[in-house]
Copies of this chain bind each other. A is one copy, B any other.
Amino acid sequence: LAGLITLTTDFGYQDNYVGAMKGAILSVCPEARIVDISHSIAPQQIGQAVYVATTSWPYFPKSTIHVAVVDPGVGTERRALVLCGSQGFYVGPDNGVLSAALPPELRPNVAQTVRPGPHLLAFELANPTYFRPSVSNTFHGRDIFGPVAGHLAAGIPVESFGPAVDEMFALPASTATRSGHGVDGRIQHIDVYGNLVSDIAESMLDCRRVDVTIEGKTISGLGRTYSENEGLFALVTSDGWLAIARVNSSAAAELGATIGDKIQVRW
């Protein structure tokens, strides 16, 4: 069965970018199977791409090749990487977007350089043999990341792409902090339903009898499903994050909330 490649980018759906990248992949490996995760990451929002990748990549088969391209520094000295681990391959710029490949315990507390190992090998994409013949300064999805993914799908060994490196740039999984009988966090993602996903993990909560305060409103207790509540309510998402929702409506619209806004839990 041919290699499976997933794509997570901020390329949008209206332009040529996704098509050109898929063409570049298929020109290298015509039998590659390509799956879109999302191309609607907000422009340049690396953290949003990490959230989406972290909550979707783990559900794919082992050996899947995951490509993430949110790359505001394209064409500069920022490195390009391929990572190789027991769950698959990860291709993208070394700007934090590949944090989603790291096991949670290796995610740093602040954005910084980390060692990905020992269970994740990293190689710099430095061998132009596996790039398009002509590489632009502004579209490495088409000229580098797509072709590299294609070559991986075609069976090229991961160490062929360039020298092993022992550092990569990584973003924190959460910046939430314990505060007495509670946790202070922030909204890290707002989904299509208007649900507000915080960066407070279920594991940080001592109990389910919590008061959650956001945008000046306090909500008591945790719901179990989306429909068995009224108005605003809190719940834990299927990925383990505390979130605020509204039955058949948008919590984001009701609260006027945006990514980065504070959220407090007390018990």
Contacts and interface: CB of A to CB of B under 8 A. Distances in A.
A139 interface: yes
A16 B48 CA distance: 10
B40 A14 contact: yes
Interface string A68-81: 00001111100000
Question: How many copies of this chain sit in the oligomeric assembly?
Answer: 3
Interface stretch (A24-32, A113-121, A168-176, A205-213): A24-32
Contacts of A14: 38, 40-41, 52, 191-192
A139 B228 CA distance: 15
A106 to B, nearest CB: 20
B35 A238 contact: no
Given A10-B192, A16-B51, A19-B6, A26 B60 contact: yes
A102 to B, nearest CB: 17
A198 interface: no
A72 B248 contact: yes
Contacts of A72: 226-227, 248
A7 to B, nearest CB: 9
Interface of A: 1, 4, 6, 8, 10-24, 26-27, 30-31, 34-41, 43-44, 51-61, 64, 72-76, 136-139, 142-143, 189, 191-194, 224-228, 235, 237-239, 248, 250
